[in-house]
């Protein structure tokens, strides 16, 4: 029996945006096909990063988001609106905003596993920065028949440190030093033009320190020395053990703090379950991302992130693709991975975090309150598929009385279904749950 003590009188910080994603919803196309606009909107997703949007025809495909796709001819006049193709990205971003989600704009290129074009080193860093300036002005200041979206986050590039098994880099075709120089030129120029926006990046594969010559070390050093600018530090993590991502949260924060960059937020803006990138490990990972185990992993990562030193999580990916554990490709039916986002949304609506024993005996939990009502989400996750079921008792104290406790279960048969309701008239009460492996539960505690 695992016991978790939850003092409902305790108050932490605000619930953080642990429920942001990569990419937005899809509306029906020319064939009036299925779409996920309403179910996506129902989650109240706070931010959608638009990396890899150009891979999906429903977003606009080869003309969408990436700098080299919007500004096709690098030798053209960057001050001339005719040099830009904005229309597909206009439509895509409009759909995101109509769903109530804010855009987190990645300036750069989608990953290129084959022929390299957009990930080549720009031949003129200053001009590339000016092109980005005009993209920002189009979406925030109405330039070139544009919009006033007030997009706050502008991320420079994606995974310049990425390496395939053969040593090739699908995201940056230059040297580490070239990227450091490139990031410095672009970040300082854009910040000078838009001092009120958040300019940052660069979406490293992970924040680990690998020696004095590592690209991550050199870039963060350049920021600390004033050679580059960074309003936020973004990085990625893929793995299969929640304890490993907890270490990553802490390491990312540590790398900034040790350089005096204590005010720079850390944003993990790509993450998902990955046991391995090759062969059967890759196949297993794709299956897991779309099943109950994947949903438990999502719930555990969100719960851990709320307690740990990370400022935002952005799940990869809500785009129709093999790594989307939220919506089925083509039909957009809800997969098990959709429901942890619905659970976390309940915490967001309440607003204030209640500190708990969030990681105990493979049980990951998070709680929130609005001062009168409460909610707790928890999941049982261990990467060992043969881990036995676990009974869990939640021991509540410090609450207002009386209350009704409603239990919603996400498991192999149920999709966050109400399974029982109980009323308690005392300030202290216990709720005991049977938690088979990969089961997630939402408890709603309402004043009556």
pLDDT at 249: 92
Phi, psi of 14 (to 5 degrees): -65, 150
Q: Which residues pair with 237 in a beta bridge?
A: 271
Virtual CA dihedral for 185, 187, 188, 189, nearest 10 degrees? Answer: 80
**What CATH number does the domain located at 15-351 have?**
3.20.20.80
Coil/strand/helix, residue 349: helix
Distance of CA 405 to the CA centre of its chain: 30
Q: What percent of the chain has pLDDT over 90?
A: 92
DSSP state letters, 239-268: ES-HHHHHHHHHHHHHHHHTTT-TTS-EEE
User: Which of these, 372, 349, 300, lies nearest to 8 by C-alpha position?
Assistant: 372
Tell which residue, 275, 277, 272, has the closest CA to residue 326. Answer: 272
Q: Which pTM value belongs to this model?
A: 0.96
The whole-angstrom separation of Cα 381 and Cα 365 is: 11
46 and 17 Cβ atoms separated by less than 8 Å: yes
Peptide linkage before 202 cis (omega within 30 of 0): yes
Give CA–CA dist 138/190, Å, rounded. 14
From the CA atom positions of the chain, what is the Rg in Å? 22
Percent of the chain with pLDDT over 70: 97
Neighbours of 384 (CB within 10 A): 8
- Among 383, 373, 379, smallest CA distance to 433 is for 379
Q: Which residues of the chain have pLDDT under 50?
A: none
**Residue 7: both structure tokens together:** 């003092």
Q: Which residues of 112-130 are buried (b: 16+ CB within 10 A; e: fewer)?
A: beeeeebbeebeebeebbb
Are the beta carbons of 118 and 54 closer than 8 angstroms? no
- As a residue count, the chain comes to 448
Per the CB < 8 A criterion, the answer to whether 190 and 154 are in contact is yes
Amino acid 212: pLDDT: 57
Beta strands in 8-149 (DSSP E): 20-22, 47-49, 102-107
Domain ranges of the chain: 15-351, 353-447
Helix (H, G, I), strand (E, B) or coil at 442: strand
Interior CA angle at 166 toward 163 and 169, to 5°? 30
- pLDDT, position 32: 55
| Alpha carbons within 13 A on the beta-carbon side of 123 | 5
DSSP letter (8 states) at residue 336: G
For position 390, what pLDDT does the model report?
94
Within 8 A by CB and 6+ apart from 108, the residues are 66, 67, 118, 155, 156, 157, 158
> Residue 203's closest CA among 185, 224, 179?
179
**CA–CA gap between residue 445 and residue 427 (Å, rounded):** 12
Cα-based distances in Å from 256 to 160, 222, 264, 415: 18, 12, 7, 40
How far apart are the C-alpha atoms of 257 and 254, rounded to whole Å?
A: 5
CB–CB of 426/401 below 8 Å? yes
Cα 380 to its chain centre, rounded Å, is: 21
Q: Are 45 and 19 in contact (CB under 8 A)?
A: yes
Q: What is the CATH number of domain 353-447?
A: 2.60.40.1500
SS3 assignment, position 232: coil
Q: Among positive and negative, which fits the CA dihedral 148, 152, 156, 157?
A: negative
């Amino acid at each position: 029996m695992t016991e978790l003590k939850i003092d409902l009188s305790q108050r932490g910080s605000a619930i953080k945006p642990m429920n942001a994603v990569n990419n937005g919803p899809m509306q029906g196309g020319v064939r009036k096909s299925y779409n996920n606009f309403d179910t996506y909107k129902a989650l109240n997703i706070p931010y959608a990063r638009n990396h890899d949007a150009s891979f999906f025809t429903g977003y606009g495909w080869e003309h969408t988001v990436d700098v080299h796709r919007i500004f096709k001819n690098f030798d053209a006049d960057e001050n001339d609106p005719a040099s830009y193709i904005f229309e597909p990205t206009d439509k895509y971003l409009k759909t995101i905003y109509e769903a109530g989600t804010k855009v987190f704009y990645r300036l750069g290129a989608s990953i290129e596993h084959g022929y390299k074009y957009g990930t080549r080193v720009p031949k003129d860093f200053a001009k590339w920065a000016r092109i980005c300036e005009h993209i920002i002005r189009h979406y925030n200041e109405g330039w070139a028949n544009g919009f006033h979206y007030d997009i706050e986050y502008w991320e420079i590039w994606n995974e310049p440190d990425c390496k395939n098994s053969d040593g090739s880099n699908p995201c940056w075709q230059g040297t580490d030093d070239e990227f450091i120089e490139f990031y410095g030129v672009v970040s300082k120029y854009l910040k000078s033009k838009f001092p009120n926006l958040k300019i940052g990046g660069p979406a490293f594969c992970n924040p680990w320190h690998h020696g004095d010559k590592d690209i991550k070390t050199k870039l963060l050093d350049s920021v600390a020395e004033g050679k580059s600018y960074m309003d936020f530090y973004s990085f990625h993590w893929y793995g299969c053990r929640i304890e490993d991502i907890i270490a990553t949260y802490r390491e990312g924060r540590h790398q900034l703090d040790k350089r005096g960059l204590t005010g720079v937020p850390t944003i993990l803006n790509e993450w998902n379950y990955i046991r391995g990138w090759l062969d059967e490990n890759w196949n297993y990972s794709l299956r897991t991302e779309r099943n109950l185990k994947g949903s438990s992993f999502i719930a555990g990562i969100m719960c851990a992130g709320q307690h740990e030193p990370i400022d935002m999580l952005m799940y990869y990916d809500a785009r129709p693709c093999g790594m989307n554990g939220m919506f089925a490709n083509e039909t957009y039916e809800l997969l098990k991975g959709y429901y942890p986002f619905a659970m976390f949304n309940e915490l967001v609506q309440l607003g204030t975090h209640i500190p708990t024993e969030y990681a105990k005996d493979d049980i990951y939990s998070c709680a929130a309150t609005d001062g009168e009502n409460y909610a707790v989400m928890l999941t049982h996750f261990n990467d060992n598929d043969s881990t036995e079921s676990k009974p869990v008792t939640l021991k509540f104290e410090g609450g207002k009385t009386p209350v009704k406790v409603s239990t919603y279960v996400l498991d192999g048969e149920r999709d966050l279904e109400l399974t029982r309701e109980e009323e308690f008239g005392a300030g202290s009460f216990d709720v005991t749950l049977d938690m088979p492996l990969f089961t997630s539960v939402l408890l709603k505690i309402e004043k009556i």
